[in-house]
Chains A and B, each alone.
Chain A
Amino acid sequence: MRREPARTLSDHLPVIFPALMLLVFFVIPFGIMIAVSFFQREQGGFYTPDFVLSNYARFLSSFFGGVLSFSLLLAMAVAVCCVVLAFPFTYFLTCRTRRVQIAWLVGLLSVLSLSEVIIGFAWSTLFSRTAGISNLFVALGLMEQPTALLPGFGAVLTGMVYQALPYTILVLYPALVRLEPTLLEASRTLGASPLRGFFDIVIPALRNTIVATLIMVFVFALGSYLLPQILGRPQHWTLSVLITDQAIYQSNMPFAAAMAVFLVLISLALVGLTLLVGGRKDLTA
């Protein structure tokens, strides 16, 4: 279907309101942040308008470089874990009856209603030495004595995967439901075992969906701020934690802004790269 180009003011009206909202609440604040990132910080005070690159220069130290790469790696690890776990799960979910599917989806939606704080403290209890799951393993005879499983990278990763998994499933679900079931059947009649057909046909047919989901979870995990602090050691803190620290506790707004701008640029670049490697423009398929 082709649409006529909008001509009169009333044709444009439906777009004006969202455009204004976007301008006022995203473009302008983001512009201010970019401007502030070039400002001069005043010791003990706030900042004065200027144009200096020192905020960015400071950022290129090995410490901040390390934190940035850790944040990116953590977000990637969360994205990959989520998709690897969620894809087969969602696939088998779509093979169930409608009633079972709805029960699962409602359950997943209710997980989304938990706040990050609750998720963080719930996992910190589960991973603790005194009340955690290691006690269960001891009871089952799998472990010698209860141990604390946190703080640590595994704990951070688990918490973040737990938080992002419902989103991942809900994003994958529509595409998997619409997947032609005869595709897998066709591969079976051609001699592929169900497992082989899954890897040969189902996954490649949904490549665009998988790439889009990876990007979504990656971006979602990149902004994580609370869970790394609750479940991890300081070396597991993400850039978001440092930005907050600089902005609020060190009142170094220009440096915090520079880090935020840099984080946005890096993640945009990574998303672009993924799309390039993914090879297709059409992500909605």
Chain B
Amino acid sequence: MSGLTLEAVSKQFGDLTAVDDVTLSVPHGTFVCLLGPSGCGKTTLLRMIAGLEDPSGGRLVLDNSDITAVPTHKRDFGMVFQSLALFPHLSVGENIAYALRIRGTPKADQAKRVEELLELVHLPGHADRPVSKLSGGQRQRVAIARALAVSPRLFLLDEPLSALDAKLREAMQVELRQLQQKLGITTIVVTHDQREAMTMADLVVVMGEGRIRQAAPPVEIYRKPADSFVADFIGSTNLLEIARDGSGGAIFAGKAIPGLALPSGLDRARLSIRPEDVQLTAPGNGSLTGRVTFLRDLGGTVETFIKVAGTTLTAVSTPRERPDVTAGDDIGVALPAEACVVLKE
């Protein structure tokens, strides 16, 4: 298969298992986001792909050849580091041309390629600037251009946008995705920001405690989380404890959820429902009745916090659908079965 395959890759640091038996297939031209909380092993996994760490076990296969033992400088990958790692003593142009210089590209071709790349990252004419004179966003672009200089086989980025302010970060996410689509290059990005992953990725790989918890397209990750870790980490969700009644229906807070069934053998389970899927009605009309504890009106959206039998649910609605209640009022709540995801404990 063309593309990158990780076969049972793991990494141990002394007693600590940073990456635990990771198997993953990345087809050519895919944009992959490794997503997870800090310390979940995502950066270690990326560094192993780059060759900066040796795996304790498993194989890395790229385009049908085993690259596990190939040293970093012979892999022809481009990498953007979290710290960017621009060479402080070189100008913008010299930074970008470094990979070409090592490969012995003639000077004139180097200059042409540098200008081409600067054009690509929207920084034309900056080749002679010292890197210390650039803004954060410009340094980011230079780091990206430098990593792309020799048309790498894989484009790896380690938390590339974390140093930028929120607005610029959002803009760069879109830009990075458009750049990747234009070049059709297989790209792997490490991030802890789920918005970033949702914006850019074809394939989101959620990691926790060194393992892959779920690998799927972004919308599927959001709509059909594999377990409560994924459900909780991606976006916000309501996690409810449910039980199975005699006929196989699901019960929450003593009431059945219409249309939702639990498979036999599963007596207790956890249910995930997104705040925007929770429906609010007049008291008595929903299947459940709760009490409003707080209203957070953010202008664009309204969040309603409702206490139902000891569990607090969050519902998000648009200002147009804003429920006509205040804290302390009773409210009806309906949980549409098609929006509910049953998770194993």
Contacts and interface: CB of A to CB of B under 8 A. Distances in A.
Interface in B204-232: none
Interface in A175-191: 180, 182-183, 185-191
A191 B85 contact: no
Given A182-B83, A185-B52, A191 B147 contact: no
A180 B85 contact: yes
A187 B98 contact: yes
Main secondary structure of the interface of A (DSSP, over half): helix
Contacts of A186: 79, 81, 85-87
A194 B51 CA distance: 13
A201 B87 contact: yes
Nearest to A196: B102
B149 interface: yes
Contacts of A187: 87, 98
A207 B52 contact: no
Interface residues of A, number: 19
A49 interface: no
Contact of B149 (A180, A185, A190, A194): A190
B73 interface: yes
Contacts of A204: 87, 89-90
A193 interface: yes
Given A204-B89, A205-B89, A189 B83 contact: no
A33 interface: no
Contact of A188 (B73, B87, B150): B73
B141 interface: no
Interface string B95-110: 0001100110000000
A32 B73 CA distance: 62
Interface residues of B, number: 30
Nearest to B99: A190
Contacts of B87: 183, 186-187, 201, 204-205
B89 A189 contact: no
B81 A191 contact: no
B78 interface: yes
A188 B86 CA distance: 13
Main secondary structure of the interface of B (DSSP, over half): loop
A148 interface: no
Interface centre among A186, A188, A207 (most CB of B within 10 A): A186
B52 A190 contact: no
Nearest to B152: A189
B81 A192 contact: no
Contacts of B81: 182, 185-186
B77 interface: yes
A189 B102 contact: no
Contacts of B149: 190
Nearest to A200: B98
Nearest to B143: A186
Contacts of B103: 191
Contacts of A180: 83, 85
A193 B71 CA distance: 9
B88 interface: yes
Contacts of A191: 73-74, 76, 99, 102-103, 150
Contacts of A190: 73, 78, 98-99, 102, 146-147, 149-150
Contacts of A196: 102
A20 to B, nearest CB: 40
A284 B82 CA distance: 25
A219 to B, nearest CB: 26
Contacts of A182: 81-83, 85
A189 B98 contact: no
B88 A189 contact: no
Contacts of A192: 73, 98, 102
A204 B87 CA distance: 9
Contact of B85 (A185, A194, A200): A185
Interface in A40-87: none
A188 B89 CA distance: 17
Interface centre among A182, A187, A190, A207 (most CB of B within 10 A): A190
Nearest to A193: B73
Interface string A204-244: 11010000000000000000000000000000000000000
A201 B77 CA distance: 19
A205 B98 CA distance: 14
Given A188-B51, A190-B146, 20 more contacts: A182-B85, A183-B87, A185-B79, A185-B85, A186-B79, A186-B81, A186-B87, A188-B52, A188-B71, A189-B52, A189-B79, A190-B98, A191-B73, A191-B76, A191-B99, A192-B73, A193-B71, A193-B73, A196-B102, A205-B88
| A-B residue pairs, 6 tightest by C-beta | A186-B85, A182-B85, A190-B99, A189-B79, A188-B72, A204-B89
Interface of A: 180, 182-183, 185-194, 196, 200-201, 204-205, 207
Interface of B: 50-52, 71-79, 81-83, 85-90, 98-99, 102-103, 146-147, 149-150, 156
15 contacts: A180-B85, A182-B81, A182-B82, A186-B79, A187-B87, A189-B73, A190-B98, A190-B99, A190-B147, A190-B149, A190-B150, A191-B99, A192-B102, A200-B98, A205-B88
